[in-house]
Structure 1
Amino acid sequence: MIAGLNTCCITHALKANPIICIDMVKDFWLSAKVNRSGARGAGSVDAKIQGKDIIITEAIDREVLKFVDPTHYLTTFGRDKVMKDLQRISYDGEYPTMLKKLFPPYYRLLVHMFLLCISKNKGDLDQLNQIQTSVMVALVNNWDYNFFAFVLKT
């Protein structure tokens, strides 16, 4: 499982250990505005940090996080494809609502870390929805997946 995660397209985003300045984060969130017509019509987030204008676009996010997944990659997979793979990894439950406790221990750890670190769940850290399940299956199998769209939209 570790070897697979080390070769997947989100390795950099998972391993990066940036220096975070709390004051700058606060400045960003106090001034951040969505600009739907910015960045040549693609949209952007415009903010001001310590008096300096900051413009964040999808292209910049992809570059910094090193997400190289093309935008045409899927963000969900069909029920049959997912169920087949869940059975292969010995998941002992139903789909689409997945329960962490029904995964084998090593996959349970991966699901736990995913829910804590990547998903937007603030609570309910024992359940995965259909999109989150697709992400997990894509990670485990190193399938083509639009991780950036998942991070951006969820």
Structure 2
Amino acid sequence: MEGKLVEISQIRKGPWKAEEDEVLINHVKKYGPREWSSIRSKGLLQRTGKSCRLRWVNKLRPNLKNGCKFTAEEERVVIELQAQFGNKWAKIATYLPGRTDNDVKNFWSSRQKRLARILQNSGTPSSSSSSSSSKSLKLKREIPAFHDVPVFE
């Protein structure tokens, strides 16, 4: 058990250093994007296999479009596929070369927030108050009055 505690304490967490990225890139050049756990067992990095895989997939792969805005075509694809597949971001990302599932999820989330803000700000004071009062009238009609609800004893 003590051996496990020492082993776990040696695992590095937190931000990656440029030197670590270089080691990971060289490992992938030599062995391909696999054998992630062997990086640690060979003494190359003090990171878990999962951490190495995620770093490669989400940050270091050569074809990634890190920091680039989605093109109009990419936006169209995400909107269409989200309607078809729902929030299956990994599946949607397979249709967008250079985009990760996290990129797609973040794009969608930002888009939804932006649309909600636009809708919230688009109502004029007179139209929003009449709109909200008509909503409350509908709710009052749909919810029975307290005295209309049967009592069960």
| Superposed pair shares fold, TM > 0.5 | no
Name whichever structure is richer in helix by fraction.
Answer: 2
More strand by share: 1
Which TM-score applies when normalising by structure 1?
0.29
